[in-house]
Structure 1
Amino acid sequence: MNYKIREMQKGDWKSVSEIYQQGMDTNLATFQTECPTNEEFDQSHIKQCRFVITDGDVIAGWAALTPVSSRCVYRGVAEVSIYIHDTHRGKGAGNQLLNFLSKQSEKDGIWTLQSGIMADNKASIRLHEKCGFRQVGFRERIGQDRFGQWRNTVLMERRSNLI
Structure 2
Amino acid sequence: MKSTDWDQVSLIYQEGINTGNATFEKSIPSWNSWISTHISGCNIVARSENRVLGWAALAPTSKRKVYSGVVEVSVYVSEKCQGKGIGHALLRKIIELSENNGIWTLQAGIFPENKISIGLHQKCGFRVVGIRERIGKMDGIWRDVVLMERRSKKVG
Query: If the TM-score is normalised by the length of the shorter chain, which range does it land in?
Result: over 0.9
Structure 2 counterparts to residues 25-36 of structure 1, below 5 A:
25-36=18-29
Q: Structure 2: give runs of 5+ residues left out of the alignment.
A: none
- Which residue of the partner structure matches residue 148 of structure 2? 156
Q: For 1:92-144, what per-residue CA distance to the aligned partner results, in whole angstroms no more than 9, with x for missing partners?
A: 00000001100111001110000000011101000100111000111111111
One-letter amino acid matched to 1:148: G
One-letter amino acid matched to 1:93: I
CA-based RMSD of the aligned residues comes to 0.8
User: Partners in 2 of 1:57 and 1:78 — Cα distance?
Assistant: 29
- Which residue of the partner structure matches residue 3 of structure 2? 10
Structure 2 counterparts to residues 3-152 of structure 1, below 5 A:
8-145=1-138, 147-152=139-144
State TM-score, norm by structure 2.
0.97
State TM-score, norm by structure 1.
0.93
User: Partners in 2 of 1:38 and 1:101 — Cα distance?
Assistant: 20
User: Partners in 2 of 1:153 and 1:71 — Cα distance?
Assistant: 23
User: Partners in 1 of 2:35 and 2:96 — Cα distance?
Assistant: 22
Q: Structure 1: give runs of 5+ residues left out of the alignment.
A: 1-7
The alpha-carbon deviation at position 56 of structure 1 amounts to 2.6
Aligned-partner SS, 2:118: helix
User: Partners in 2 of 1:39 and 1:104 — Cα distance?
Assistant: 22
Aligned-partner SS, 2:76: strand
The alpha-carbon deviation at position 149 of structure 1 amounts to 1.4
User: Partners in 2 of 1:55 and 1:155 — Cα distance?
Assistant: 32
One-letter amino acid matched to 2:112: A
The alpha-carbon deviation at position 58 of structure 1 amounts to 1.1
User: Partners in 1 of 2:17 and 2:149 — Cα distance?
Assistant: 22
User: Partners in 2 of 1:105 and 1:131 — Cα distance?
Assistant: 13
